Structure 1
């Protein structure tokens, strides 16, 4: 027996666990083929979970004997995905702990959106509405997973009894690239049909969407077509808050080694307002409204690629200003370095989008499903304002900001939305300038 044979052992390589709440992963692609050798630390494959792709390294040097699953297959955590021949008999049980993670889009969405190299096999340009569509719990679950609305489900021909939609119908439709996603309905001559205007899209440089941009596109279209959006606006005077921050940011930095941005101050005010109006912290599940126990605030954050991701400050209502600053700075830093973990982008119950970062006065954000509302904070701008004083009115320079709240009118009515938004503004305006850090 040779030395090589003495120091090689066959090991089962299992799907690693890549987060506390992660139960499965989707294989994106294998970087090592069957029969190919590798060194310790080489990346064997890429596995995707929600919004995060994970590079899974080899636990030791060796050779890949066989692959049990291929690209785009969903595999439960702990399932054997390959057989390896490893040196020194090293077991691959710690592979997940070495995983480096890169922010990407949801792989399940990427499978649904054909790119310029993927053409749908369906040739139809129009669809007939399935008037007898029956959405079973299984179909509903698959549709939610792939961000397919009920309107789009009604476009899919059903092969079940009385035209009912079967799982095979939906899966075949998905595998074909969702040909009826933007198709026009076939109507009777007496009905109205949206004309095919055949817009001139012009010519120029073609840029193929990356996987995350495709996910954002699907997520936004799903939200806009699912939830009836209404947006409310208020204006807040942040002069006292701005002055307090300017006076204390250096001391805060020296004491806690953390930058004091406006983000933790905004999150603090939002968390307080949510506790006052808990119905805003909810989601819709069929005909049931789920009012969340936790207050987890998502922060829409720009990535170096120009895409957006929403890291989440968990249990924001229980954190003091120091902890909020630490959490926001850490998450923003990881987002910019593409180092966010899957659990750090999950579980948000309410989202804030700071459009003022880009110089916008205000915005009309799209709800981050399945939440009930989203807040946009505009740029803080100095303006001349008429101030009512005991001694009379006066014109003063004040730091003003617009806040806009987009809300799902299926869950939230105007009174609740307006009261909640006004309460956030009140907390910002009535900032305690004697507050100690």
Structure 2
């Protein structure tokens, strides 16, 4: 067969790469149906990666020949997802062998289906000696399946070993043991399948982002033994300085000065003092991260939560931190965040005070070791100890809470780190320049 290449009217439209660390995307829907024409730049489909939805434009004018994947399919980057007929010079150069290739059958990949009646079981038997291979662990993490749930999956491997195919089949069946209760072989007691009266009312179906948040939160609570520590900090000097300089800062740098970059600055300094808090667990190994990338939980207009990341926060000055946080918040609210904007977080801050909360008990953003919640800054009468005697003054106080993974962070480290964050906030230099 000749290796000579020629131009053909069909073009393989592939899943684009939407970030350095993105390896796959979920096709949310097709905006151009089979047989319809389109112009260059028209949006052909919407693709989701992690929590970010992306619109994928047409490379040139043409006609949609065939969708190779249906909506809800998860497809690897670089894989053909549609066949197009492009006009002019945009036609793809392919080999003669490609000309005779049969059309690819439309298929769904990794699409979760409802369990059949035969798989809906109310109880399961725990495999207490389940062996979790790195391959099975990767599949479980990708689908937010805890080790506890993995132990419920019937294993078909040698000596009860859980195979990748066992997990894949379990997911395809709709994860029937996700919320099931274990069978007790000793006492004969089984936790009752309580029938709660959930009431009646308007049914609001979860959107895709809310489903992912729910899965991530359940996975985090199942995976990490959460412990939360609390302190309160006197932010009077920080509040006074910020109020006196926010307009000047805006005039000089063109950036709004919120409390977020000031909090990130204090946290980054404390992480350098206690680097073990900036870690994650990989099997029985603790990975202490070299970079200090601070995720900041941000509420969207829809009510959902997203976590954009300030990369290398310890290397940025206040102007750069303000610029980064303002840009990420703006992109979050306008729906313009990219996949890389939310990748690589090593520690997360959740400012629950934005919503008026006094304090919070945040859930760890996996696979991080800890997460900090900052409460509302509230003026209170406080007793201040001075050499000449105690006085009562009006101070700006804030509660801080740190939820940490007790598998890798003990109380001493968590308490010392949290107190150091509070100290940096309290010892704010009111004479600092910017």
TM-score (normalizing by structure 2): 0.90
Q: Of the candidates 373, 377, 381, which is equivalent to residue 376 of structure 1?
A: 373
Q: Does 1:307 align with 2:293?
A: no
Shift of 1:120: 4.9
Matched ranges for 1:6-405 at <5 A: 9-90=9-90, 111-112=111-112, 118=114, 120-121=116-117, 122-188=119-185, 190-405=187-402
- Note if contact 1:227-1:408 (Cα within 8 Å) is conserved in structure 2: yes
CA contact (8 A) 1:232 1:418 kept: yes
- Give distance in 2, aligned partners of 1:174 and 1:330: 38
Counterpart CA distance in 1 for 2:147 and 2:90 is 50
Root-mean-square deviation over aligned CA pairs: 2.2
Q: Structure 1 residue 129: deviation in Å?
A: 1.6
Q: 1:65-96, CA deviations, whole angstroms, 9 ceiling, x for partnerless residues?
A: 23344444443333333331112222689xxx
Supply the distance in 1 between the matched residues of 2:289 and 2:229 (Cα, whole angstroms): 23
Deviations 1:397-421 (A, max 9, x none): 0000010101011111111111100
Q: Distance in 1 between matches of 2:254 and 2:214?
A: 38
Asked whether the equivalents of residues 8 and 89 of structure 1 are also in contact (C-alpha less than 8 Å), the reply is no
Task: Provide the secondary structure at the position in 2 that maps to 1:392.
Answer: coil
CA deviations on 1:138-172 (whole Å, 9 max, x unpaired) are 21111111111111111111223333322222111
Q: Deviations over 1:188-219 (max 9, x none)?
A: 36244222221211111111111111111111
SS of structure 1 residue aligned to 2:89: coil
Moved more, 7-16 or 320-329: 7-16
Deviates more, 1:408-417 or 1:60-69: 60-69
Distance 1:180 1:237, change over 3 A: same
Partner-residue secondary structure (3-state), 1:300: strand
Is the contact made by 1:230 and 1:408 (CA closer than 8 Å) also made in structure 2?
yes
Partners of 2:272 and 2:396 in 1: how far apart?
27
Q: How far apart, CA to CA, are the structure 2 residues paired with 1:109 and 1:312?
A: 30
State the distance in 1 between where 2:174 and 2:88 align. Answer: 46
Distance (whole Å) between structure 2 residues aligned to residue 173 and residue 75 of structure 1: 20
- Please tell me whether the aligned partners of residues 26 and 47 of structure 1 are also in contact (alpha carbons under 8 angstroms): yes
Q: Residue 119 of structure 1: CA displacement?
A: 5.5
CA contact (8 A) 1:40 1:60 kept: yes
Shift of 1:309: 0.4
* Bigger mean CA deviation after superposition, 266-275 or 140-149: 140-149
Deviation track 1:223-246 (CA, whole Å, cap 9, x = no partner) reads 111111111111100001100001
Alignment-derived partner of residue 105 in structure 1? none
Q: Deviations over 1:120-147 (max 9, x none)?
A: 5522121122344332222111111111
**How far apart in 2 are the matches of 1:252 and 1:109?**
51
Counterpart in the other structure of 2:102:
none
Paired residue secondary structure (2:419)? helix
In 1, Cα distance between equivalents of 2:173 and 2:53: 24
Structure 1 residue 15: Cα displacement: 2.1
Q: Could you report, residue by residue, the CA deviation over 1:79-114 in whole angstroms, capped at 9, with x for unpaired residues? A: 333331112222689xxxxxxxxxxxxxx99955x7
CA distance in 1, matches of 2:109, 2:90: 36
| Pairs aligned (count) | 413
- Tell me which stretches of 4 or more aligned residues in structure 1 moved more than 4 Å: 108-112, 118-121
Deviates more, 1:22-31 or 1:53-62: 22-31
Please, which moves more after superposition, 258-267 or 162-171?
162-171
Which is worse superposed, 270-279 or 31-40? 31-40
Distance in 1, Cα, partners of 2:36 & 2:311: 43
* Kept in 2: contact 1:223–1:367 (CA 8 A): yes
Distance 2:320 2:227 in 1: 33
State the partner residue of 1:3.
none
- Residue 408 of structure 1 pairs with residue 410 of structure 2: no
> Does the CA contact (< 8 Å) of 2:237 and 2:430 recur in 1?
yes
